[in-house]
Amino acid sequence: MNILAIETSCDDTCAAVLNDDRILSNVVSSQTNLHKKWGGVVPDIAKRAHQKRIEPVIMEALSKGFNLPKSLFDKRDLKTMMAKIDVIAVTKGPGLAIALSVGVNKAKELAIKYNKKLVAVNHVEGHIMANWAKNSKGLPERNIELPALAMTVSGGHTKLIVIKSPPNPLFDERGGMASFEYQVVGETLDDAAGEALDKAAKLMGFGYPGGPIIEKLAESGDINFLELPRPMADKKILDYSFSGLKTSFYYKIKDWPKEMVIEKANDLAASYQNAVFDMLLRKFKLAAEKYEPKTLLASGGVMANKELRKRIRKLAKELKLPVYMPNKKILDTDNAGMIGVAGYFMALKEEWADPETLDRDPRMNFNLPPAPSLTRRGV
């Protein structure tokens, strides 16, 4: 099955081509430079950039995916390339409404014009499915045993999700699990972890996105320089809260002269990053102890951070559990490859969307009811 996947939920215009769960091309056109000077994503700028870039990005993904010569980079040849596609997968939500619309409308237009099947993918499920992604050679081959506990950490969401096999699991032709049941067991009550890092970088007067900037600065900083709170850490709650941490950070440095912030930037970044990661790790551990998964998974933009990856590997060792994370940076941050993998599993289940009526859903959630024996909050 050949899939064209499209993702425009935030500030990256993305398209990918897959053969089943194997990613053949994964094109990301980042808008970071456009949003940088505003210190965050400006929805209207994102929308216009998506509109301008979506077609060239799709063309590039198609020609790279099918190894077609550059001469086929022409709009007139879209028909030839679309003939090879069976299914179009697109991010329906959650995300910025006006950004999502660009991808959804393009997917609908192509599905109708070229008579293709369409699947509407949840962006967070895409981040989880990045753990199942394979390259064109079918690697890595991972035997991810369920139930698994997945942590997704990005700029828009921070969630702990238990992934189980449903009562009647579906397997693909190679015998791999192709249907999953999700239960959100913890999530942030305010800011996402990536957002917390972005905001701290902004408070210090640094650019956007803040996560990679803080990572670099923190490498040579002292984690004990600043004493910061760990909101909700001691209560046996699986939800996260990051806004108190950001506020505390703000009050600690608000009267500092700019030069002092610059001078102490490494220590400030290290203390702050350490507090964010501490909170992520504590809840991940708590959830693992409560739900006793066979596997740990971690994905989302913040997982591009080397220190966080190291700490998660250490936790998995301590818990004696296998851990998987996307094996390429491009699969951590927003990309269409992960949307294609989630779309592949949906296509196997024939969960088709109607190209005439599909609409974006900026607040899209996992709509599985929690199992009666498990409460959302309080262990």
Residues of span 290-349 touching Zn ion by CB under 5 A? 334
Please choose which of ligand KG4, Zn ion, none residue 65 contacts, taking the beta carbon within 5 to 8 angstroms, the exact cut-off set by kind: none
CB of residue 11 to Zn ion, shortest distance in Å: 10
Please choose which of Zn ion, ligand KG4, none residue 87 contacts, taking the beta carbon within 5 to 8 angstroms, the exact cut-off set by kind: none
CB of residue 251 to Zn ion, shortest distance in Å: 30
CB of residue 122 to ligand KG4, shortest distance in Å: 12
Residues touching Zn ion, count (CB under 5 A): 2
Give the integer Cα–Cα distance in Å for 93 and 101. 10
CA angle (66 as vertex; 115, 178 as ends), nearest 5:
65
Name which of 242 and 344 has its Cβ closer to ligand KG4: 242
Q: Are 50 and 13 in contact (CB under 8 A)?
A: yes
Q: Are 92 and 361 in contact (CB under 8 A)?
A: yes
Name which of 231 and 301 has its Cβ closer to ligand KG4: 301
CB of residue 243 to ligand KG4, shortest distance in Å: 15
Q: Are 20 and 1 in contact (CB under 8 A)?
A: yes
Please choose which of Zn ion, ligand KG4, none residue 337 contacts, taking the beta carbon within 5 to 8 angstroms, the exact cut-off set by kind: none
Please choose which of Zn ion, ligand KG4, none residue 191 contacts, taking the beta carbon within 5 to 8 angstroms, the exact cut-off set by kind: none
φ, ψ at 51 (rounded to 5°): -60, -40
Please choose which of ligand KG4, Zn ion, none residue 15 contacts, taking the beta carbon within 5 to 8 angstroms, the exact cut-off set by kind: none
Residues that bind ligand KG4 (CB under 6 A): 10, 154-156, 194-195, 197-198, 209-212, 215, 300-302, 304-305, 333-334
- Please choose, from the candidates 322, 328, 262, 260, the residue with its C-alpha nearest in 3D space to the C-alpha of residue 297: 322
The residue with its CB nearest to Zn ion is: 154
DSSP strands (E only) in 268-319: 295-299
Task: Enter the tokens of residue 218.
Answer: 């923190």
Task: Enter the tokens of residue 77.
Answer: 């040849």
Candidates 154-162, 166-174, 205-213, 243-251; binding stretch for Zn ion (CB under 5 A): 154-162
Please choose which of Zn ion, ligand KG4, none residue 103 contacts, taking the beta carbon within 5 to 8 angstroms, the exact cut-off set by kind: none
Name which of 162 and 197 has its Cβ closer to ligand KG4: 197
Give the integer Cα–Cα distance in Å for 8 and 10. 6
CB of residue 297 to ligand KG4, shortest distance in Å: 15
CB of residue 367 to ligand KG4, shortest distance in Å: 19
Give the integer Cα–Cα distance in Å for 58 and 99. 16
- Please choose, from the candidates 228, 229, 231, the residue with its C-alpha nearest in 3D space to the C-alpha of residue 188: 231
- Verify binding: residue 239, Zn ion, rule CB under 5 A: no
- Please choose, from the candidates 95, 290, 273, the residue with its C-alpha nearest in 3D space to the C-alpha of residue 186: 290
In this structure, the strands spanning 181-187 and 117-122 are unpaired
- Verify binding: residue 154, Zn ion, rule CB under 5 A: yes
Please choose which of ligand KG4, Zn ion, none residue 152 contacts, taking the beta carbon within 5 to 8 angstroms, the exact cut-off set by kind: none
Q: Are 14 and 57 in contact (CB under 8 A)?
A: yes
Give the integer Cα–Cα distance in Å for 320 and 155. 29
In this structure, the strands spanning 181-187 and 2-7 are unpaired
Name which of 77 and 190 has its Cβ closer to Zn ion: 190
Q: Are 46 and 56 in contact (CB under 8 A)?
A: no
CB of residue 230 to ligand KG4, shortest distance in Å: 18
Please choose which of Zn ion, ligand KG4, none residue 126 contacts, taking the beta carbon within 5 to 8 angstroms, the exact cut-off set by kind: none
CB of residue 277 to ligand KG4, shortest distance in Å: 9
Give the integer Cα–Cα distance in Å for 303 and 42. 24
CB of residue 38 to ligand KG4, shortest distance in Å: 15
- Please state whether 93 falls in left (phi above 0), alpha (psi between -120 and 50) or beta: left
Please choose which of ligand KG4, Zn ion, none residue 302 contacts, taking the beta carbon within 5 to 8 angstroms, the exact cut-off set by kind: ligand KG4
Name which of 164 and 309 has its Cβ closer to ligand KG4: 309
Name which of 269 and 339 has its Cβ closer to Zn ion: 339
Q: Are 98 and 46 in contact (CB under 8 A)?
A: yes
Binding interface with Zn ion (CB under 5 A): 154, 334
